[in-house]
């Protein structure tokens, strides 16, 4: 492997790092907006009984969650993250002396398989071969256990949704609940309680958990205690509807600095991935 080292501000401009810094700022801002709303305690849970065997936990939302604001700031973070990689590839292409016709085809790939890499590699012909070899080393397919969970793949998927489909959406993700509802048995036998999760709408409120019992029950204490915990994540209008928690998106954006560092110096990139 070549020992060639590329230095920002000397061999190539600092534009990629500046774009990446902006992406980090926007990702951090998105997390802070979500955390401020979470700390505001805007959700009041309350149990009610629909029939002798069905109990529902309702959530009363006293202030709409800032979903649109979160979506916009995360969209900007993804835009700048992809821009950082694109400008990085463009800067690397300047090192070979290639003409504009070849350089204009350059972009930083996120290949999930060797076949995908073979298809995109020709577009990197304007980049010096030893640097292309390093770009290959940081591709998602190198992490064979779960290529789609690699940081580059996560960012590419979300950025493509944001560009070609619709604004990515910041949405709540259920991370746990504690229910301490005292129930009085109305007949003999096992309670047989089954909980059914429902999608949480933090903008308008709504049903969150339905508890159904095998035998008739009655609520002794309407709400002895209930805590609902959630995280925030990013999704798009994709068929799989996959969520990526905001913290993982931020971590993926930060990892781009490791990707650039490896391509510039050949140093080993961390193998941490960011599961969907």
Is 62 inside a domain boundary?
A: yes
Distance CA 267, CA 60 (A): 52
Is 105 inside a domain boundary?
A: yes
Strands 217-219 and 54-61: unpaired
Is 102 inside a domain boundary?
A: yes
Do residues 249 and 154 make contact, with C-beta atoms less than 8 angstroms apart? yes
User: Whole domain around residue 188: which residue ranges?
Assistant: 15-265
Distance CA 199, CA 206 (A): 9
Q: Which helix (H) or strand (E) holds 89?
A: helix 67-93
Each of the 276 residues of the chain gets a pLDDT tens digit; together they read 457 899 999 999 999 999 999 999 999 998 898 888 877 777 666 667 777 777 776 666 777 778 778 888 988 999 999 999 999 999 999 998 877 777 888 999 999 999 999 999 999 999 999 999 999 999 999 886 788 878 899 888 888 877 765 556 666 555 555 544 444 444 444 455 565 656 556 666 666 666 666 666 555 544 444 555 566 777 655 445 566 788 888 999 999 999 999 999 988 655 454 444
Q: Which of 200, 142, 135 is nearest to 172 (CA)?
A: 200
- Residue 22 phi, psi (nearest 5): -65, -40
| DSSP one-letter code for 139 | S
Is 271 inside a domain boundary?
A: no
DSSP for 3-29, please give it. Answer: -----BTTTB-SHHHHHHHHHHHHHHH
**Hey, what are 3's tokens?**
């020992």
Beta strands in 52-160 (DSSP E): 54-61
pLDDT at site 178: 53
Is 3 inside a domain boundary?
A: no
Is 270 inside a domain boundary?
A: no
Is 8 inside a domain boundary?
A: no
- Residue 62 phi, psi (nearest 5): -95, -10
pLDDT at site 184: 42
Is 273 inside a domain boundary?
A: no
What total of structural domains would you count in the chain? 1
Do residues 79 and 201 make contact, with C-beta atoms less than 8 angstroms apart? no
pLDDT at site 236: 59
């Amino acid at each position: 492997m070549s020992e060639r080292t590329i230095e920002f501000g000397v061999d190539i401009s600092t534009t990629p790092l500046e774009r990446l810094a902006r992406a980090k700022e926007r990702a951090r801002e998105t997390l802070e907006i979500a955390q401020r709303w979470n700390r505001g305690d805007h959700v009041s849970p309350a149990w009610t009984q629909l029939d002798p065997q069905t109990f529902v936990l309702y959530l009363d939302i006293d202030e709409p969650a800032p979903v649109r604001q979160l979506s916009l700031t995360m969209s900007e973070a993804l835009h700048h993250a992809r821009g950082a990689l694109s400008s990085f590839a463009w800067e690397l292409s300047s090192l070979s002396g290639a003409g504009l016709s070849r350089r204009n085809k350059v972009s930083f790939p996120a290949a999930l398989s060797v076949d995908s890499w073979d298809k995109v590699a020709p577009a990197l012909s304007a980049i010096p071969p030893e640097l292309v070899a390093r770009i290959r080393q940081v591709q998602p397919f190198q992490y064979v256990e779960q290529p789609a969970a690699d940081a580059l793949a996560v960012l590419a998927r979300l950025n493509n949704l944001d560009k070609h489909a619709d604004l990515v959406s910041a949405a709540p993700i259920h991370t746990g609940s504690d229910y301490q509802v005292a129930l009085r048995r109305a007949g003999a036998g096992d309670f047989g309680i089954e909980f059914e999760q429902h999608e949480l709408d933090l903008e308008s409120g709504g049903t969150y958990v339905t508890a159904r019992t095998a035998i008739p029950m009655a609520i002794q204490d309407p709400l002895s205690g209930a805590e609902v915990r959630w995280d925030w994540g990013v999704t798009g209008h994709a068929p799989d509807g996959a969520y990526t928690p905001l913290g993982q998106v931020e971590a993926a954006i930060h990892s781009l600095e490791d990707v650039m560092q490896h391509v510039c110096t050949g140093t080993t990139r961390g193998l941490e991935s960011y599961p969907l």
